[in-house]
Amino acid sequence: MYELIERYPKDLGFHMPAEWSLHHQTWMMWPTGLDMDRYPNTDTIRQAHAETANLIADFEPVTIIANTQDTDKLKTMVSDNVSVVTDEIDDSWCRDSGPTFITNEKEIAGIDWTFNNYGEFCGLDYLKDAEIAEKIIKQLNIKHFKPPITLEGGAIHTDGNGTLMLTEDVIFDPERNSGLDKKEAEYILEKYLGVENFIWLIAALEFDDTGGHVDNLACFTPNNQIVALSESDRNDSNYDRLKENHERLKYSKNIDGKDFEIISIQQPRHKTFLNERMPLSYVNFYMVNNGIILPTFNDPMDALAIDTITTLFKDKKVVTLEGSRIVEGGGCVHCITQQQPSM
C-alpha cells in the first residue's frame, strides 16, 4: 500500500538489489524536445530511445512515460511488449529523476530522491521531472521513501550485497548537498539502501552534465568484479581522473573484506558534439533479464568492449546499440532506463 515515509529511519528492512537481479520491468521516459538548444537532434535521440526500448522488450516488459502530444507517434515506434503511459515530464533521464527501487524480498518500495537538475536547480522547465518519481511510486501503490538528500539514481551502483559505489563529486556538490559530510551521507545511504560498505570514486568525465555519475565510470558484476572505464593515453583529458578512480578501486573491498577484481575497459576515442567532448562510456550499459544492452560508438574500441562484456557475463546475451545518438543528450543506455525488481 502506498505510504510516504520521510524521516531518518532506524531500520527500513529494505535494500537496493543488484542490477542483475530479476526484473519485473524496465521504466523509461520519452525525449520531449522541449529544449532544442540542448537537444537539436531530438528526432535522432528519439529513434535511439525507441530502439533501446525494443531491444529491452525482447528480454522483459518496458513502460515508457511520455507527454500527451508524443504518445501517438511513440506507439508506432515501439514493439508490443512496450507499454506507453501518459504523464507530464521535462526530460528523458528515468534513471535519475525516476525512483530507485528497494526490496525486502516480500515487497518493493520506491526511493524518491530530491532532484534539482544535477545541481543546476529546477526552474519551471524541470519541476515535472522533480515530481515523476513520486507519481510512479503512487501508480505502483508501494511504500514511498523520501530521504533528506539530493541525488540521482545514476550516481549509485550496488553489488546487492551491502556495498555501494558512488562519487564524491556528486554527493558533496555544494549545489546538491551543501554542508553534507561523509559520515552523514553514509548514514543516510546505509539506512535507505541497506548498505554498509562504501567505495568512493572521484572525477567526472570531461563535459559530463551530471558532474560525475558513477554509471559512466564503473559498475559491479555478479562475480566480485568491478568494470572500470580507463584511458591509456596520458595526453587525454580524461586520463588523470580515470587513473585516480583506478587507484581507489585497487584498494576497494567487498562486505567480507575481500578484494574486488578490477576489469579495465578502454574509453572510446575523443568525439565532439556542439563543440564539447561527448562523455562516451562502454560502462554505461544496462543489465536486463538474461541480457546486456551495450552501447557502441563506431569506434576501434567497440570490438574489445563487446568481447570484454561478453566474457564477463557468460550467462547473458549481449546486444549492441549505437549509443552516440543518446549521448548527444548527455547520457547513455543506463541513464535512460530504470529497473523495477521482481519479488
pLDDT-derived band of residue 249, with 50, 70 and 90 as boundaries?
Answer: very high
Max Cα–Cα distance, the chain, nearest Å: 55
Q: What is the mean pLDDT of residues 265-284?
A: 94
Instruction: Kindly report the CATH number assigned to the domain that includes residue 278.
Output: 3.75.10.10
User: Is residue 210 assigned to a domain?
Assistant: yes
Distance from C-alpha of 16 to C-alpha of 220, rounded to nearest angstrom: 13
Q: Residue 191 sits in which domain range? A: 3-338
| Residue 83 in domain | yes
Residues 105 and 12: beta-carbon distance below 8 Å: no
Query: Is 139 within the bounds of a domain?
Result: yes
Q: What is the mean pLDDT of residues 143-162?
A: 96
Q: Look-up: residue for cell 560502462? A: 283
- Annotated catalytic residue 335: yes
Residue 201 lies in a domain: yes
Query: Is 105 part of a structural domain of the chain?
Result: yes
Q: Give the mean model confidence (pLDDT) for residues 316-339.
A: 95
CA end-to-end distance (rounded Å), the chain: 15
Q: Is 343 part of any domain? A: no
Q: What is the mean pLDDT of residues 56-78?
A: 97
Q: How confident is the model at residue 183 (pLDDT cuts 50, 70, 90)?
A: very high
Q: What is the mean pLDDT of the chain?
A: 93
Asked, for residue 169, whether it belongs to a domain, the answer is: yes
Q: What's this model's pTM, rounded to 2 decimal places?
A: 0.95
pLDDT tens-digit series, residues 11-37:
678 999 999 999 999 999 999 977 667
Q: Write out pLDDT tens, residues 288-312.
A: 999 999 999 999 999 999 999 999 9
- Measure the CA–CA gap between 219 and 33, rounded to whole angstroms: 30
- Report how many domains make up the chain: 1
Asked whether residue 271 is domain-assigned, the answer is yes
Cell of 91: 526530460
The single residue of 94, 219, 332, 335 carrying the catalytic annotation is 335
Q: Is the pLDDT of residue 9 over 90?
A: no
